[in-house]
């Protein structure tokens, strides 16, 4: 599960990243608000941990801009601002949870897993490419109305590529999304899953961009 961590304090950020990695999260760490907004809008994260007191762009403004741009990533605000009005502003501003520092790392991990579970339990828009329809909530794929059985990893890989149609995803990006930190991954694992998806759903569904990665072409 890939997370975005936005925290400007180097000691705290390093500790949070290490603690979350120990719990199996893949963590991308940025240290200012502009980078946080850019990453939230561009990368496919399962959830984000956002400090409010960020340089360059305040965390509340990051959140407001991301939500205005249609970003639906679950966001947990982690901040030293413990006053009730601050909590209300954060939650009303689009945060899904609000936690005051200091926080136990295992509680933080549990809260993030709960956020992701709730997000996955919500109605999610179906992803469509020609006659292939992927239903994220039901974890079901059909082609021309006929269900196509996929393994869990094949489904997750296809969902990632269909969610970002037209954009190339490198093998490293896909591995970060599909495998837990520290999990041993065969060097050709992504290639094998792509091969199986092409065999089941047709060779035209996933394009190889030589030397870069894979993409589902825009229809």
pTM over 0.95? The answer is no
Which architecture characterizes domain 127-215 according to CATH? Orthogonal Bundle (1.10)
pLDDT of 16 > 80? The answer is yes
Domain 2-121 shares a fold with domain 127-215: no
The CATH class that applies to domain 2-121 reads alpha beta
pLDDT, one tens digit per residue, over 188-204 is 899 999 999 999 999 99
Angle between helices 171-178 and 152-163 (to 10 degrees): 130
Helix (H, G, I), strand (E, B) or coil at 213: strand
Domain range summary for the chain, segments of one domain joined by +: 2-121, 127-215
Please write the tens of the pLDDT for every residue from 73-84: 999 999 888 888
For the chain, strand residue ranges (E) read 2-6, 26-30, 47-50, 75-79, 97-100, 127-129, 132-135, 140-143, 146-147, 207-209, 213-215
């Amino acid at each position: 599960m890939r997370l975005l961590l936005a925290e400007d304090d180097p000691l705290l950020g390093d500790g949070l990243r290490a603690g979350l990695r120990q719990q199996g999260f893949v963590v991308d760490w940025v240290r200012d608000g502009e980078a946080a907004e850019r990453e939230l809008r561009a990368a496919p994260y399962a959830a984000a941990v956002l400090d409010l007191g960020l340089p360059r762009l305040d965390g509340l403004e990051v959140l407001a801009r991301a939500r205005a741009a249609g970003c639906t990533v679950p966001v947990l605000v982690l901040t030293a601002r413990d006053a009730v009005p601050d909590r209300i502003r954060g939650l009303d501003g689009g945060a899904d949870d609000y936690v005051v520092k200091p926080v136990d790392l295992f509680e933080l991990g549990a809260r993030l897993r709960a956020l992701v579970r709730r997000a996955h339990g919500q109605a999610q828009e179906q992803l469509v490419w020609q006659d292939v329809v992927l239903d994220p909530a039901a974890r079901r794929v059909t082609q021309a109305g006929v269900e196509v059985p996929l393994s869990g990893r094949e489904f997750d890989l296809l969902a990632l590529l269909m969610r970002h149609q037209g954009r190339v995803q490198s093998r490293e990006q896909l591995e970060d999304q599909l495998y837990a930190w520290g999990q041993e991954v065969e060097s050709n694992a992504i290639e094998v899953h792509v091969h199986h998806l092409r065999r089941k759903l047709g060779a035209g569904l996933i394009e190889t961009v030589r030397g870069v990665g894979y993409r589902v072409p825009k229809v």
